[in-house]
């Protein structure tokens, strides 16, 4: 299936876009605490922008791309690749807020990448490459959960009281705005 042009030079973008990515989804307790931090940010800074619904909070591990129709063969290969990952559960304390100037987003993140997250990201990337599943992969992961898009002002990196998050699984998500995320597969992390 043909992937959409992200630079504006590809084929015309259809009205319906299917986005596929591997991610971490917070459990209910962590999600609620993330939402509380976002509410405090909104109250303290009153920024202009588009706040993310807390039901869409996630940390992207590997982005497979935007498609004009769901690529079933790629999905099957991605699921097989995910099933080959051997990584343990880990703690991911979100202890920083900040923003990315180039993309105009505010986020919750961590000062130090947990070893478990680095291992999961690396193993998933290698498994996807071995299965010949194309990703829009960078050479490093900057762990973050986006809470505000189209921010009119920058938010400098600032320590916060940690939001504890025990990561026990990773998922493959199909996003088709404005619909809720559809989880296409779940892979538990033992331990």
Q: Is residue 5 part of a domain?
A: no
Q: Is residue 7 part of a domain?
A: no
Q: Is residue 13 part of a domain?
A: no
pLDDT above 70: residue 123: yes
pLDDT above 50: residue 37: yes
CB 50 within 8 A of CB 149: yes
Q: What is the pLDDT of residue 15?
A: 63
Q: Is residue 61 part of a domain?
A: yes
Residue 126: both structure tokens together = 């290698």
Residue 39 to residues 33, 52, 191, Cα–Cα distance (Å): 10, 11, 33
Higher pLDDT, 12 or 37: 37
The Cα–Cα gap between 76 and 63 comes to 15
CB 98 within 8 A of CB 131: no
- Across the range 82-104, mean pLDDT stands at 96
Residue 52's DSSP bridge partners are none
pLDDT above 70: residue 7: no
pLDDT above 50: residue 131: yes
Q: What is the pLDDT of residue 68?
A: 94
Mean of pLDDT over the chain:
91
Structural domains in the chain (count): 1
Percent of the chain past pLDDT 70, that is, above it, reads 92
Q: Is residue 119 part of a domain?
A: yes
Q: Is residue 124 part of a domain?
A: yes
- Rounded to the nearest 10 degrees, the angle between the axes of helix 115-130 and helix 72-83 is 130
Task: Identify the sign of the CA torsion 64, 190, 182, 23.
Answer: negative
pLDDT above 60: residue 14: no
CB 2 within 8 A of CB 14: no
CB 86 within 8 A of CB 123: yes
Residue 64 burial class via C-beta count within 10 angstroms: exposed 0-12, middle 13-18, buried 19 and up: buried
Q: What is the pLDDT of residue 113?
A: 95
Q: Is residue 158 part of a domain?
A: yes
pTM: 0.89
- Across the range 90-118, mean pLDDT stands at 96
Q: Is residue 154 part of a domain?
A: yes
- Across the range 146-151, mean pLDDT stands at 96
Q: What is the pLDDT of residue 12?
A: 53
- Across the range 7-12, mean pLDDT stands at 47
The Cα–Cα gap between 52 and 169 comes to 22
Kindly report the CATH number assigned to the domain that includes residue 137: 3.90.1140.10
Q: What is the pLDDT of residue 9?
A: 45
Residue 152 burial class via C-beta count within 10 angstroms: exposed 0-12, middle 13-18, buried 19 and up: exposed
Q: Which domain holds residue 57?
A: 18-188
- Across the range 45-49, mean pLDDT stands at 91
């Amino acid at each position: 299936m043909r992937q959409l042009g992200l630079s504006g030079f590809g084929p015309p973008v259809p009205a319906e876009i299917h986005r596929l990515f591997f991610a971490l989804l917070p459990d209910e307790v962590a999600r609620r605490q993330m939402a509380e931090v976002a509410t405090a940010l909104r109250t303290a800074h009153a920024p202009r922008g588009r706040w993310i619904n807390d039901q869409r909070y996630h940390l992207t591990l590997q982005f497979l791309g935007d498609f004009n129709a769901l690529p079933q063969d790629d999905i099957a290969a991605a699921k097989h690749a995910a099933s080959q990952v051997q990584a343990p559960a880990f703690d991911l304390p979100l202890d920083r807020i900040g923003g990315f100037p180039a993309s105009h987003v505010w986020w919750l993140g961590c000062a130090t990448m947990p070893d478990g997250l680095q291992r999961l990201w690396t193993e998933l990337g290698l498994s996807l490459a071995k299965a010949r599943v194309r990703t829009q992969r960078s050479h490093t992961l900057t762990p973050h959960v986006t809470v505000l898009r189209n921010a009119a002002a920058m938010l400098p990196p600032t320590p916060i009281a940690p939001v504890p998050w025990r990561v026990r699984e990773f998922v493959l998500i199909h996003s088709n705005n404005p619909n809720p995320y559809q989880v296409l597969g779940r892979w538990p992390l033992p331990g």
